[in-house]
Amino acid sequence: MSRKKIVVLTGAGVSAESGLRTFRDSDGLWEEHRIEDVASPEGWKRNPELVLDFYNQRRRDVLNAKPNKGHKAIALLEEKFDVVVVTQNIDNLHERAGSTNVIHLHGEILKSQSTVDAKLIYECEGDILIGDKCEKNSQLRPFIVWFNEAVPMIEIAAKEVSLADIFIIVGTSLQVYPAAGLINYIHPTVPKFLVDPNVPDVSHVRNITCIAKKGSEGLPQIVEVLLKQV
C-alpha cells in the first residue's frame, strides 16, 4: 500500500525554540527593523549595506542554532509517510533535523545570489559584504525572497498541498501571502492540524484541529498519534 502524503507548512514559530526570533511576536524582528528597509528591493537599492548587515546577523544566528523537538518530530514522520515540508523559514533547521524534502518559499540564508543572473546561487556561510561579486562580476545579495518579489516555489508548493492526505500548520501567523493562501489548496475533507501557542484565525477552515501549544510540545504529540495510526 502506498504511503500517505503529509504536507507541513511551517513559519518562524517552529524555529523560535531554537533561539531564532520570529517576526510578529512582541519581541519579533519587525519590532526592531522596518520591512521596507531590510527586506525589500527598494531597501536594497537605498542602502544595500543595511540589508547585508541584517541578513549577516540572521546567518550567524542560524549557524549558532540547533533543530528543536518540533523539527525532529516532523522529520520522524518520514518513517511512515511521504512528507513535504513547505517552509517560510530561511534557516536550515528542518534539513538538519533530518527532513529530506523541504521547499523554501522565502529563500535560504545559507546561500547567496547574483544580482544580474538569478540562476547564479552559491553556498554562503560567512558574511556577504559590499564588493563580494558573482562570477559575472555583480554584487552578491542574500538568496532571500523579499516583499514585492515573486515567490518562485509557490506553484510547486501549491501542487504538493493539493495532493496532501494530511496537512499540518505550525508556527506561522498566516499573514503573508501567497504562503498563507496555500491553505486554500487543501481539500476541505483532508484532516488538518495547527500547532501554535497563539492560534491564528482559521475559523474559515474545515476539518482542522488546533493545538494551542509550542511546536516542541504539540508536534511530538501529533506525530505520535499519526505514526501509531499506520
33 is catalytic: no
- From the candidates 104, 106, 187, 204, which is the catalytic residue? 106
Q: Contacts with ligand APR in 7-26 (CB under 6 A)?
A: 11-14, 16-17, 22-25
Strand ranges of the sheet holding 5-10, from the earlier edge strand across to the other edge: 102-104, 82-87, 5-10, 166-170, 192-195, 208-211
**Measuring CA to CA, which residue among 166, 117, 171 is closest to residue 143?**
117
Distance (Å) of CA 134 to CA 26, 39, 121 = 38, 21, 9
Q: Does 106 bind ligand APR (CB under 6 A)?
A: yes
Q: Contacts with ligand APR in 196-225 (CB under 6 A)?
A: 196-198, 200, 214-215
Cell 528591493 maps to which residue? 41
CB-nearer residue toward ligand APR: 17 or 160: 17
Q: Does 167 bind ligand APR (CB under 6 A)?
A: no
Task: Tell me the residue ranges of DSSP E strands in the chain.
Answer: 5-10, 82-87, 102-104, 107-114, 121-123, 140-144, 166-170, 192-195, 208-211
Number of Cβ within a 10 Å radius of residue 66: 10
Region binding ligand APR by CB under 6 A among candidate stretches 41-49, 130-138, 173-181, 201-209: 173-181
For the bound state, the minimum distance from the C-beta of residue 147 to ligand APR, rounded and expressed in Å, comes to 7
- Dihedral sign for Cα 101, 105, 109, 112, please: positive
For the bound state, the minimum distance from the C-beta of residue 8 to ligand APR, rounded and expressed in Å, comes to 12
For the bound state, the minimum distance from the C-beta of residue 204 to ligand APR, rounded and expressed in Å, comes to 17
Q: Say how many residues touch ligand APR, by CB under 6 A.
A: 26
| Residue numbers at the binding site for ligand APR (CB under 6 A) | 11-14, 16-17, 22-25, 28, 88, 106, 170-173, 175-176, 195-198, 200, 214-215
